[in-house]
Chain A
């Protein structure tokens, strides 16, 4: 569970910073997560390349596709943009299924080798855990640095007052495209790690449901906080698993939890935590 929490935190962070810092609702992350996973799977099993090449191929492919698709669709805003990204997720799901020469279709691709570091194979969940959490921490740290840099201020300026950002010289369209590309690269990194961890990928892992899963991480966690992404990821990973103890009612209970979380914590777990810490500091 903790390994998946880290994997989904990495990919979910891409959605969270688009939502929290740029005001963009993206439902396309499942596509980039899939591209990363299939790139790693294909490069290592079909061509026998070493694992890092799969990461690089996935990240580059995701960046190129995000740029090509993002450039036109990021002229849209609000619901229209969200729908455009949903369409991308749906197209991705169909292509992952239909391009079976590349993805294995419903049969998927199995036998993906475990990652190894300096000859030390990460073949157990414990070993992978000690690898993936530092990677997630590094990504979160880089994100924290971005927020304190000029592009971070420009993102928040664009979100809070897009007209004022534009007249200050911020090229809001280019900034959105850059961030969409960065988000896609994070999705791909998460996907590649996922493929090497589970050793088998199929279209079932990259459906529109997965896109909604990433959006839930951002919304429930609180898209404006860094720690929120991790908390959101932990919630959507652990809670459904924990609720399976309630038998057939577990989807219903999970839905009730989601509704309660959105109603009572409108700025997410991260926002609630931040408020609580602030109150404690004032007391």
Chain B
């Protein structure tokens, strides 16, 4: 459903993505792993329209979308949870969610609709904290608000950038559980992670990224055994 072909992008003339190609099919969960500085977050920003490409193209169901600005890509079913969550600090949980829901209303009539009740079902704590300021939530709760907010845009593809960063193992488990629920509901997921153990649980296959390029594609079998592949982990993740 989404394919990046030889894409190049960077900051201030310095290339970060150097002709990267990868793809994700409908109803699959794909992980993108790599060490710090591999260009993972730059790739996420390029995919969601926050960073213009200097070369290459991005295709969604065969249609070029690389020239669409970020707010229009959302309308085409791509929702992203940015690294560091980027919640709207002065607004309550409810207003963070309602802002997304209001924009989601206008999107893809044919797509599966997420309502407020659906996201509360996925993250039950939200039900009791709707009127709390997001600034008062823990990091894990904020991450759940960020995911819930993205779901209210009714995406077909959910991109998550380092969702486990700074979270306790218990919260990470909750997020993995929520992603599994979304997967079973047919949503495509692109999970950008350094935490390989989490990524293995949540994704069907993976790409390994290093220095702005995809250096390895791991099919389902190779991916499930990746935690035993010391050479790969050492080479590309430094762990």
Chain A residues with a Cβ under 8 A of chain B: 150, 153-154, 156-157, 160-161, 163-172
B106 / chain A contacts, CB cutoff of 8 Å: 169
Contact A168 B99 (CB under 8 A): yes
Bound: A161/B100 CA distance, A: 14
A-B contacts, 14 listed (Cβ < 8 Å) = A157-B91, A161-B87, A166-B49, A166-B70, A167-B48, A167-B70, A167-B73, A168-B103, A169-B75, A169-B106, A169-B107, A170-B71, A171-B69, A172-B71
Bound: A279/B95 CA distance, A: 25
Bound: A93/B50 CA distance, A: 37
Question: Closest residue of chain B to A164, judged by CB?
Answer: B86
Bound: A155/B87 CA distance, A: 13
A168 / chain B contacts, CB cutoff of 8 Å: 71, 74, 99-100, 103, 149, 153
Q: How large is the interface on B (under 10, 10 to 19, 20 to 34, 35 or more residues)?
A: 20 to 34
Interface string of B79-118 (1 = CB under 8 A from A): 1101000111111000100111011101100000000000
Contact A156 B88 (CB under 8 A): yes
Chain B positions 120-161 with a Cβ under 8 Å from a chain A Cβ: 149, 153
Within the complex, the shortest CB–CB distance from B147 to chain A, in Å, comes to: 13
Chain B residues with a Cβ under 8 A of chain A: 45, 48-50, 69-71, 73-75, 79-80, 82, 86-91, 95, 98-100, 102-104, 106-107, 149, 153
Within the complex, the shortest CB–CB distance from B18 to chain A, in Å, comes to: 23
Contact A163 B49 (CB under 8 A): no
Within the complex, the shortest CB–CB distance from A121 to chain B, in Å, comes to: 45
Contact A167 B98 (CB under 8 A): no
Within the complex, the shortest CB–CB distance from A211 to chain B, in Å, comes to: 27
Bound: A233/B95 CA distance, A: 31
B100 / chain A contacts, CB cutoff of 8 Å: 168-169
Bound: A169/B73 CA distance, A: 8
Question: Closest residue of chain A to B106, judged by CB?
Answer: A169
Given A156-B91, A168-B149, A169-B106, 13 new contacts (CB under 8 A): A161-B88, A163-B45, A164-B86, A166-B71, A167-B71, A167-B74, A167-B80, A168-B71, A169-B75, A169-B103, A169-B104, A169-B153, A170-B99
Within the complex, the shortest CB–CB distance from B160 to chain A, in Å, comes to: 12
Q: Of the candidates B86, B91, B103, which one forms a contact with A170 in the assembled complex, judged by CB atoms under 8 Å apart?
A: B103
Bound: A150/B97 CA distance, A: 12
Question: Closest residue of chain B to A172, judged by CB?
Answer: B71
Bound: A170/B75 CA distance, A: 10
A154 / chain B contacts, CB cutoff of 8 Å: 99
With contact pairs A156-B90, A160-B88 given, residues A167 and B99 touching in the complex (Cβ less than 8 Å): no
Bound: A172/B79 CA distance, A: 17
B75 / chain A contacts, CB cutoff of 8 Å: 169
Bound: A107/B101 CA distance, A: 56
Question: Closest residue of chain B to A224, judged by CB?
Answer: B90
Question: Closest residue of chain A to B50, judged by CB?
Answer: A163
Within the complex, the shortest CB–CB distance from A17 to chain B, in Å, comes to: 14
Within the complex, the shortest CB–CB distance from A145 to chain B, in Å, comes to: 15
Contact A153 B153 (CB under 8 A): no
B69 / chain A contacts, CB cutoff of 8 Å: 166, 171
Contact B71 A171 (CB under 8 A): yes
Bound: A155/B102 CA distance, A: 14
Bound: A154/B91 CA distance, A: 10
B104 / chain A contacts, CB cutoff of 8 Å: 169
Contact B88 A150 (CB under 8 A): no
B103 / chain A contacts, CB cutoff of 8 Å: 168-170
Bound: A164/B75 CA distance, A: 14
Within the complex, the shortest CB–CB distance from A106 to chain B, in Å, comes to: 46
Question: Closest residue of chain A to B73, judged by CB?
Answer: A167
Bound: A160/B95 CA distance, A: 14
Within the complex, the shortest CB–CB distance from B165 to chain A, in Å, comes to: 16
